[in-house]
Chains A and B, each alone.
Chain A
Amino acid sequence: MSHVTALLPPQAPPPAPAKPFTTGRFFGNLFIGVWLALTIGIFLMMVEGWDPEKFTKYGPSYLSGLGVTLLLVGLSVVLGGILSLPLAFARMSKNKAFSWFAYGYVYFFRGTPLLTQLFLVYYGLGSFSAELKAWGLWWFFRDAWNCALLTFTLNTAAYQAEILRGAIESVARGQHEGAAALGLPKRIAFFKVILPQALIVALRPYGNEIILMIKGSAIVAIVTVFDLMGETRRAFSRTFDYQAYLWAALLYLIIVELLRNLWAWLEARLTRHLKR
């Protein structure tokens, strides 16, 4: 009987098969190239057109514009959130009059562009200046900022009412029955059992709504409110420098991305008991 006396020396693994150069890879490289070229082009354009005088002149006004945008969105989201509570309950109520009113309200504000609503409030109500003066409301509607705040509040209330209604209706029937079986009164059951579960469902849509409001708020620039977009338009109309828009784009992107990541973290944190 013969047996093996010498072990084979260790050998290198066979070479990995060459990655095929697929169409997908070609297009992937092409698009990455396009993005790189665009980034470099925009960067070079900014370096070439860099003007410290313009930067010191318009930089602070961009920041104040950013403040106006954030204040406007923050206030209108909070006020709209308060207004959305009765709306959502009216929408779910068994009373036909209430639910039809809420349905009409939501349908109107979700079915028409925000810009049209803003014009309707600012220019439209502005044409009734005599009546408004008689009622002592003219000081409010004279100012474009107030009109924008009112429009945004009414608009976001409609969207938030739908979010809230959807979330409350998504809580399973068994939760209501469980609370009733424990002998909890309706009000306590709602606040302690139903609402916390509904708000977790509503968290993501709320985040989307805030981002949509930040993006939508750019239109107030058209009715002479100097938010970030308004300051951008002012800077562009004075300098005719295309960079003005690029800086605004950068600021908007930063806010939206920050908010998106904050919301992702918040959601992960608040739903950690649901992880399996």
Chain B
Amino acid sequence: MGGFFTAIVEAASAFLGIIDPLCGPIGIFKLFAGNTLLACGDAGWGDEIALGFLVTGTLAVATLPIGLVMGFFIALAKQSEEKSLRLSANIYTTLFRGLPELLTLFIVYYGLQILVQNFMTAIGYDGRVEINAFAAGMVALGVVFSAYCSEVLLSAFKAIPRGQYEAGYALGLHRGRTMRLIVLPQLIRVALPGLGNLWMALLKDTALVSVIGLPDILRQTGVAARVTKQAFEFYAIACLLFLILAFLSSLVFSAIEGWAKRSEVAR
């Protein structure tokens, strides 16, 4: 079983090595920065920065589904007829939209550590517990994202007329199917611009996890800057990489938007 997983991990890393846009066989650093500080391998910092690029991308992509699903259910809770559900959802959004992301990250990182440590001591394990920085970053960013996401989805819900639900019920669909087949497709179309903004904010917030030691773009370039004493060049590269990520995601989002609006093209 262990060998199987190692094989999968090796295959995945080999595949990533081939399509790696920075240090792969047709990577930018490999082609254009062969003998500079950005060279790949032991000679330069190219492969370290490529790893940071991968970590940043992975963290943002891994946080997105969690935040979207949580945000969707919080938006549902906010327009529920049940008072306690509305109240608890509103407390959640007030809390996590009001706290600085950095503070949320610290509270989650150290708080989880204390919680898990106490739990482990209670069940009789007395070693030191280290919380994975990636997991803490995912939880903190996911929580913040879901708080904002619920607001975007809530206003999108309000844009869908009551008659759409009624039409669904009149067709004999029950609530879940009405939501999935009738409301959700329209909801995505309305909420997409807002979600795009949130995605950009999420991408930028991932830079904060470098503070708790996750080797993302900013941390890797920071290490390189300290070692080589060429801070400006390396931080400029970090900015450039984030700009590239922003540009790529704007391309993806306009593609999704085109797909979501394909029924309106004829009009």
Contacts and interface: CB of A to CB of B under 8 A. Distances in A.
Contacts, number: 138
A257 interface: yes
Interface stretch (A122-130, A168-176, A178-186): A122-130
Contacts of A116: 207, 218, 235, 238-239, 242
Chain B contact residues, majority secondary structure = helix
A123 B5 CA distance: 42
B58 interface: no
A124 B242 contact: no
A73 B55 CA distance: 31
Interface stretch (B62-70, B83-91, B251-259): B83-91
A28 B100 contact: no
A172 B211 CA distance: 46
A115 B100 contact: no
Given A113-B242, A116-B207, A242 B111 contact: yes
Contact of B239 (A35, A117, A249): A117
Interface string A212-230: 0011111101100000010
B99 interface: yes
A93 interface: no
Given A111-B243, A218-B103, A31 B88 contact: yes
Contact of A113 (B86, B114, B204, B231): B204
A252 interface: yes
Given A113-B218, A124-B236, A242-B110, A248 B103 contact: yes
B82 A125 contact: no
Interface of B: 77, 80-89, 91, 94-95, 97-103, 106-107, 110-111, 114, 200, 204-208, 210-211, 218, 222, 225, 229-232, 235-236, 238-239, 242-243, 246-247
A249 B229 CA distance: 36
Contacts of A125: 232
15 contacts: A24-B77, A24-B80, A28-B87, A32-B84, A32-B88, A35-B91, A111-B242, A114-B204, A115-B210, A120-B232, A120-B238, A126-B231, A127-B230, A242-B111, A246-B107
Contact of B229 (A27, A127, A221, A242): A127
Contact of A245 (B81, B107, B210): B107
Nearest to B84: A28
A229 B91 contact: no
Nearest to B218: A116
A112 B204 contact: yes
A114 B158 CA distance: 33
A265 B187 CA distance: 31
B176 to A, nearest CB: 12
A236 B242 CA distance: 31
Contacts of B97: 256
